[in-house]
Structure 1
């Protein structure tokens, strides 16, 4: 068959197009990106958690806070993931009695090969009956084993209102530090006494601080409370909370002593004239206080853990939430806590997490 010139041209064009067409290639799956662990976190760590406390042992963080009704212990390998940590009620108070109500400010300490929880409780009349109590557990993991009630922790011969116990170890001695009152007064002061065992006080008590500076006197009653110990560079710092928690001006103050001083000597301690950690109203941190400290798992960073309210006027209730942030030390060796970081701000996780 003879093709016309136009048909022949169309034939050659079709043949050329077919020759230029790229052969189909087998489908290639897109590269799979492995999931990454978030390298930041944001505050608050939990929606509620007044008086937060944390301690670390063998790479594990153990966390507690005031629940008011029991002692609950959280266990986590990453403080930045506290919100997903497993929690366990380790002690429920009796139905009645001197330590049956108002369970406050628990602290977990590992002393002489055993775990101890120091907590505040009373018979149900809130502030008037509050005293210090202690539990003991010989198990390696404090979320397991048996917690034994070791009873009330008090200065021999005294039965006075007391809250917020913590432990100081210095010069080979061990001491209890807490917030207490004098007979007939509701003012809260800071006291210290020597411990003969982790669950026994040997008197007398010594008053280390009382509310006296203008920034400590907001609200009623006047308070110094929530003492916590920080030791660095040959100095012992006692960080405490002052002004009543019902105010937005609840804040942290500081006492300083030499690490070789006798901590029972009140004259060995000096009080900083201004607070060392105050509210950040723009950052939704009102009444920051009742803190604790920990070191990152890599041993390179110091962190402060504290509670604060997200809005003004929220006072002493369960709206106080736990937050944490790193801090540094100044050239003179004193801690520089900065300002409470604004809620929702992305912060790098503690080193080692």
Structure 2
């Protein structure tokens, strides 16, 4: 009997052991996932279309704009090399008819006196005859949000002629508007003008002509043209970079006016024009008619970059085939900018430093 009890106890012990929870296997460490490689290069063009590109930097972001023809669109990105992936926000749509309902060109965003302003060109139709300059205002911290209010047309009542491509110059504590326009109602030659501003939407005093097409490289295409003025400051110098010749020609190029950082910009004699273009076509790089540019600093502030449009093939003229491109530039020993030659489409370039 004792023997049977011992056997029964042994079986009971074995049963209890069999029913007990087996120890969990040691966890298998997850296979590490390598981080995605950080892009160090980009290629031009930045977008498939984008005439008259513009960029403004504030608080670590780049705000990009270009001509759409039918509205004002804004892109916001932390990295200029990624601007093609940035969402496009339509911030203003024109009325169905009226004096600013058609041909929306060359918008520029500026932060002035604590608010955002957009300067753009528009007209009533027929493409060119009625083009004038207009201003939008937004008090939001982020210009892709908030409400854009029309401040109306910006013009000089005594010299109110065809006008496009407005930009801003601040010098000696004064603010100025620069643009491309006609000398009178009978001419179509485009010249560069400047006028002082009493606030971001009002001109005060007369306009002054700073440049007109003089050289053969400024007079290519169907009309002689100086347009797309842009300001570049470096050291003790102020430069006005502009586009020359008509956009119908592959020889559309960049020209340069120079003055000092303390000169009176309203005095035409303060400016010196460089007699040769400073940035021209490069057929080997698929860059025809390069121009209507803007400037920006790299994320870390160490590099200067040129943003411009060009056509990828000859003979594409003023169409939406013009696409935005960018490349770094340097300065010569005399302080003037050296833009080099247009970079080749599709060839990898280092991203702006800091990206």
Q: Same fold (TM over 0.5)?
A: yes
Q: Which secondary structure state, in structure 2, belongs to the residue aligned with residue 274 of structure 1?
A: coil
What corresponds to 1:273 in structure 2?
A: 275
What corresponds to 1:8 in structure 2?
A: none
What corresponds to 1:19 in structure 2?
A: none
CA distance 1:305–1:28, change in 2 (3 Å) = same
What corresponds to 1:297 in structure 2?
A: 299
Answer whether contact 1:156 1:201 (CA < 8 A) is retained. no
Equivalent residue runs for 1:105-116 within 5 Å:
105-116=106-117
Answer whether contact 1:225 1:241 (CA < 8 A) is retained. yes
What corresponds to 1:154 in structure 2?
A: 155
Stretches of structure 1 that go unaligned for 5 or more consecutive residues are 1-26
Between the aligned partners of 2:117 and 2:32, the Cα distance in structure 1 is 52
Work out whether 1:215 is the aligned partner of 2:211.
Answer: no
What corresponds to 1:187 in structure 2?
A: 189
What corresponds to 2:235 in structure 1?
A: 233
What corresponds to 2:324 in structure 1?
A: 322
Between the aligned partners of 2:133 and 2:99, the Cα distance in structure 1 is 10
TM-score by length of 2: 0.90
Displacement of 1:297 in angstroms is 1.3
Displacement of 1:33 in angstroms is 2.8
Answer whether contact 1:255 1:269 (CA < 8 A) is retained. yes
Answer whether contact 1:68 1:103 (CA < 8 A) is retained. yes
Between the aligned partners of 2:324 and 2:233, the Cα distance in structure 1 is 22
How many residue pairs get matched? 327
What corresponds to 2:262 in structure 1?
A: 260
What corresponds to 2:334 in structure 1?
A: 332
Between the aligned partners of 1:35 and 1:239, the Cα distance in structure 2 is 40
Displacement of 1:32 in angstroms is 4.3
What corresponds to 1:101 in structure 2?
A: 102
Answer whether contact 2:228 2:242 (CA < 8 A) is retained. yes
Equivalent residue runs for 1:1-353 within 5 Å:
32-183=33-184, 184-353=186-355
Displacement of 1:152 in angstroms is 0.4
Answer whether contact 1:255 1:272 (CA < 8 A) is retained. yes
Displacement of 1:328 in angstroms is 0.5
- Kindly provide the CA deviation profile for residues 176-231 of structure 1, in whole angstroms up to 9, marking residues without a partner as x: 00000022100000000000001100120000000011111111211000000000
Answer whether contact 1:156 1:203 (CA < 8 A) is retained. no
Stretches of structure 2 that go unaligned for 5 or more consecutive residues are 1-27
Between the aligned partners of 2:76 and 2:32, the Cα distance in structure 1 is 37
Displacement of 1:126 in angstroms is 1.0
Between the aligned partners of 2:32 and 2:83, the Cα distance in structure 1 is 33
Between the aligned partners of 2:117 and 2:280, the Cα distance in structure 1 is 31
Displacement of 1:29 in angstroms is 8.9
- Kindly provide the CA deviation profile for residues 14-57 of structure 1, in whole angstroms up to 9, marking residues without a partner as x: xxxxxxxxxxxxx9998643211110000000000000000010
